[in-house]
Chain A
Amino acid sequence: MRAVMKTIYVCSDTVTGIFSGIYDAWKAGMTEEECGIALKGMLEQQLFCDYVEVEETEHKAIAVEALIKKHLGRQAYWDIYHAVLSSDREKGDAVLGTMLAAKTLPDSTKIMEHLSHPKVEKVFELSRNVGGEAHALKGFLRFRELENGVLYARITPKAQVLTCLAPHFADRLPLENWMIHDKTHDMFVVHEAGKKWVLLWDELWNDMDGNLQFSEKEMEYERLWKGFCHTIAIESRENPRCQLQHLPLRFRPNMVEFDEKS
């Protein structure tokens, strides 16, 4: 008996990277047992595996996006896209497995209803978590006004949610200059008033938050807001456990109303 060699496509932890990996695996026409996707820097070398470095291109990523949208539908694409943004090491495999499973269905657009399939279940769950974190941050993110009038927000999310947040704030604050800094992943979204937002990777900027100069008005509004948050609570209903359940501690360091000093 001969062990089947499994081909593992190794790519970077980005949408382009993972979609490029899926592109290569899909092209090779292998079954779920014969191939897999692994992320650079999170590899666990195993026996009987061939590791192939993926050449990552926009072209491949766009092709995979189109493939998913066409065959699995937009809703499934939404789930897959969100799953790819998660911090889970096996997300690439889950997506690839889901796409392969969809091939076996008479109607592949129904794939996300197939929750008893472990890979589909995984994509579903990852997507829910990432979607949940993005939704939470739409509320919990705080902008602070810099001296030059630019609004600056720092977040430390688990998943790479910037591309989920950017369209939301671009729509909401079209006439403002703002930027959101994802400190976990060294990424930025920058929006110039009246223009489209752009996504940047830049480690150099990463220590900038120590030296930020805030506008004069900023402190005043922060004080007003803190006062509001404090006063709005009804004392006889105080319930820190319920507060904690809804607003986990990990979000609080980036929220002015939970900043003890000043």
Chain B
Amino acid sequence: MRIQESMTLYEKLNILTDAAKYDVACTSSGTSRKNDGTGMGSCEQSGICHSFSADGRCISLLKILFTNECIYDCKYCVNRRSNDVVRTSFTPDEVCMLTMEFYRRNYIEGLFLSSGILKSPDYTMELIYATLYKLRRECNFQGYIHVKAIPGANQELIQRVGFLADRMSVNLELPTAESLKMLAPHKTRKKILTPMRLVQTRMTENKQEIQLYRNAPRFVPAGQSTQMIIGATPETDYQIMQVAESLYQKFELKRVFYSAFVHVNEDSALPAKTDEGPPLLREHRLYQADWLLRYYHFQAGELLSEENPNFNVLFDPKCNWALKHLEQFPVEINRADYKMLLRVPGIGYKSAVRIVKARRLGSLDFQDLKKIGVVLKRALYFITCSGKMMYPTKIEEDYITRNLLDSGEKLPKEITNMGYRQLSLFDDVRFRENFYESSYENHICM
């Protein structure tokens, strides 16, 4: 292992950013906090994007590793101990200085601190704790902090860190225990789920404490998230969505992130390297489905099944669902309940809210829907306004499929050259040009 002693801050930052960049979460959302007048920083509920990197991902937090030294050997990871790369570590002071100076200049919303395992999980967690303590208590930093809980670290230590951070995450790494065993021999499912459960329990207790004492310190107020790598192991989309669903239900996670596998190491346990690059379309479909779970009242079992375990490359999961459930359409805009409106392709959840409000003031026609932001070119096959369809159409799977594809339902091109279009997710097309509007969480920030 190479450890360089004298390294400039610039070089360290470069190495420890490079080593952190495969972590997909970057959001600074989920909590709002005003400055108390004595320090620096605040938090916005919706989070704020400060820049976008060349891969189109949002830059919101100073995303770095504390160290890229690691005693483990996860096969998919650049930092695994068997790789011959230059190793370095920050000091707590350096992390504080970078965070404070970047924040002052409005480069960032806060800090995202992850780390390789230096010496032991406890030793590493101690260092992270020391860093956050300094940042919060000595520098009086009141901006956003997302920190990793290191599996296997002392519970007490994890709890103390949780009182200094806004969001905590433990990486699930891979969707199943078998895959984990294969690619991350030093980790086990149990070791990962234990701190996850701990954070969940502590959050619940903390909510009660806050009810009793308004000024009780807050534990992980922006909630817990996790991420898993997609495409390094053979799970189907159905398996992955079921895992995500149970994480939302049983662990009350705020977000599950999916990270298309990026080939950084040669290893016989990994899929062979191809020219296709990371499976971005697949990742995209998983994010879309994830939205359907969290905001559209769908269940994993409605979207996929054992017989049909993978998402359609041509259509987004909601459209695909609608095509398979044509017996539930067309939906009458002026009468359908909110949940059914949510299921109509071309109607986003914001449009659905607007429809419900606007129709109280009089019945809506297609022109009104357009103003509201409904994507009519997609919705028209599935809706009526006051009993009438927009054009005479057949409610037939083949017919609609053909028409949707003809009307530029873009994909085939995307599949071949992988132009990555995150926004096609959100049906509020009219307002899409102005993405900021659609609130930060709306365009998935990875």
Contacts and interface: CB of A to CB of B under 8 A. Distances in A.
Interface string A221-241: 101110111111111111111
A141 B59 CA distance: 13
Contacts of B50: 139-140
Nearest to A106: B361
B64 to A, nearest CB: 8
A139 B46 CA distance: 12
B17 A231 contact: yes
A43 interface: no
B37 to A, nearest CB: 5
Contact of A132 (B10, B357, B437): B437
Contacts of A131: 437
Contacts of B364: 116
A10 to B, nearest CB: 30
A238 B109 CA distance: 23
B104 A139 contact: no
A236 B56 CA distance: 12
A133 interface: yes
B284 to A, nearest CB: 11
Interface in B2-57: 9-10, 13-14, 17-18, 20-22, 34-35, 37-42, 44, 48-57
B13 A227 contact: yes
Nearest to A246: B52
Per DSSP, chain A at the interface is helix
Q: Please tell me the size bucket of the interface on B.
A: 35 or more
B56 A242 contact: yes
A231 B64 CA distance: 11
B42 A171 contact: yes
B20 to A, nearest CB: 8
A62 interface: no
Given A132-B437, A133-B436, A237-B280, A142 B57 contact: no
Given A138-B48, A239-B55, A221 B437 contact: no
A221 B52 contact: no
A173 interface: yes
A30 interface: no
A176 B104 contact: yes
B437 to A, nearest CB: 4
A73 interface: no
Contact of A242 (B35, B107, B421): B421
Contacts of B107: 142, 225
A133 B253 CA distance: 31
Instruction: Please name the 4 residue pairs, one residue from A and one from B, whose CB atoms are nearest each other, closest first.
Output: A242-B56, A233-B53, A132-B436, A132-B437
6 contacts: A116-B358, A128-B437, A221-B105, A236-B263, A243-B55, A246-B443
Given A234-B262, A239-B55, 8 more contacts: A139-B60, A145-B105, A151-B105, A169-B106, A174-B35, A176-B104, A232-B53, A242-B55
Interface of A: 110, 113-116, 121, 128-129, 131-133, 135-136, 138-145, 151, 153, 168-169, 171-176, 217, 221, 223-225, 227-243, 245-247, 255, 257
